[in-house]
Amino acid sequence: MIIIRPIRANDYSDLENIAVESGHGFTSLPVNEELLRNRIAASEASFAKNVTKPGTESYLFVMEDTKTNKVVGTSGIEASVGLTDAFYHYHLGKVVHSSRELNIYKSVDTLTLCNDYTGVTEICTLFLNKSHRKNNNGRLLSRFRFLFMAQHQKRFADRVIAEMRGVSDDQGRSPFWDWLQDHFFSIDFPTADYLTGIGKKQFIAELMPKYPIYVNLLSDAAQAVINKVHKNTVPALKLLQGEGFSRGGYVDIFDAGPTVEAKLDDIRTVKQSDACQVIIDEVDEQSQQFLICNTKVKDFRATAAPLLHRETANQVVISQQVADALGVEKDDWVRIVSA
């Protein structure tokens, strides 16, 4: 059975393997033991914390295959970004040069360094091992976060974003960063990406151009990838678009990948989820599939399973196996949404 749960300290080895497999461009999981262990510790503290409003909490979940007791994926939520470290993006804008006398009108796209997303909630750190990219596991690993957020809304901001991985090759070279490197930096993309991942972001403020960049001055290769996603990220982008996320006019400062955003209350899974009381009984395996989670924080569990939803009574019939996986009993409350 596949379940989602908060990460634990003894998951370190599995998390390190995920960090290695994720490769270049996956900034939130640098291959660095101290940083990964700190990430786990921060997550454990966040799940244990009594929260009344979003702060610096960092929630890291793992997907576990109970047949092997191995972690096969990870997914995270940052409650409120940019409160302790600057959170940079480029804003896509326009500058118009015109002269009525000369009958000239020219609109030029620009990139302006900003911190506009400070204080919003970010979903992040989504990665699933190749061995388990099947049976809609990827959808579960992404969407369950919205069930958690729907159940515990006071822990999160009313605006949610996701940074989409931009275009880079198998060696970690980004066409967009190549142009920045040639003109403003002396470090390659994997190095810049790694430094950001381990929290060393001061170089961004020190070396990034302070004034808007005219897009038409960039190389053709750099212009071509602005607001585009990595080929492996296309499914994740489509899933979020199906949830109501859209491009907000901001891109990553390293690879120019798009950032998508949505109001928390407008996210499809949040809007369509229902809180139900549990009935434990036999369930036909051909019954409709739902995503289901318990209502806990520290002992949060989620999975996908066939169940019977009695909408008018706010009840859900689940099997004993699913109840055990979620850590719930008869008459406990759960949150569900159609898979």
Selected residue with higher pLDDT from 198 and 12 = 12
Residue 178's pLDDT is what? 87
Tokens 């994740």 identify what position?
A: 236
- The per-residue pLDDT for range 191-229, each reduced to its tens digit, is 776 676 666 666 676 777 778 999 999 999 999 999 999
Residue 191's pLDDT is what? 74
Residue 210's pLDDT is what? 77
Encode 318-337: b = buried (16+ Cβ within 10 Å), e = exposed. bbeebbebbebeeebebbbb
- Domains of the chain plus CATH, in order, are 2-90+114-269 (3.40.630.30), 273-338 (2.40.40.20)
d(CA 254, CA 181): 10
Confidence of residue 103 (pLDDT cuts 50, 70, 90): confident
Res 35 pLDDT > 90 = no
For helices 234-242 and 137-151, angle between their N-to-C axes, nearest 10 degrees: 40
What is the arithmetic mean of pLDDT over 312-322? 96
Confidence of residue 72 (pLDDT cuts 50, 70, 90): very high
Residue 82's pLDDT is what? 92
- The per-residue pLDDT for range 260-316, each reduced to its tens digit, is 999 999 999 999 999 999 999 999 989 999 999 999 999 999 999 999 999 999 999
- The per-residue pLDDT for range 230-249, each reduced to its tens digit, is 998 899 999 999 999 999 99
Res 25 pLDDT > 90 = no
230 is known as an active-site residue: yes
Q: What is the 3-state secondary structure (H, E, C) of the chain?
A: CEEEEECCHHHHHHHHHHHHHHCCCCCCCCCCHHHHHHHHHHHHHHHHCCCCCCCCCEEEEEEEECCCCEEEEEEEEECCCCCCCCCCEEEEEEEEEEECCCCEEEEEEEEEEECCCCCCEEEEEEEECHHHCCCCHHHHHHHHHHHHHHHCHHHCCCEEEEECCCCCCCCCCCHHHHHHHHHCCCCCHHHHHHHHHCCCCHHHHHHCCCCCEEHHHCCHHHHHHCCCCCHHHHHHHHHHHHCCCEEEEEECCCCCCEEEEEEHHHCHHHHHCEEEEEEECCCCCCCCEEEEEECCCCCCCEEEEECEEEHHHCEEEECHHHHHHHCCCCCCEEEEEEC
Selected residue with higher pLDDT from 155 and 19 = 155
Residue 198's pLDDT is what? 63
Residue 24's pLDDT is what? 56
Amino acid at 82: G
Selected residue with higher pLDDT from 98 and 40 = 40
Residue 333 contacts residue 277 (beta carbons within 8 Å): yes
Selected residue with higher pLDDT from 177 and 55 = 55
Residue 187's pLDDT is what? 75
- Of 89, 97, 183, 230, the catalytic one is 230
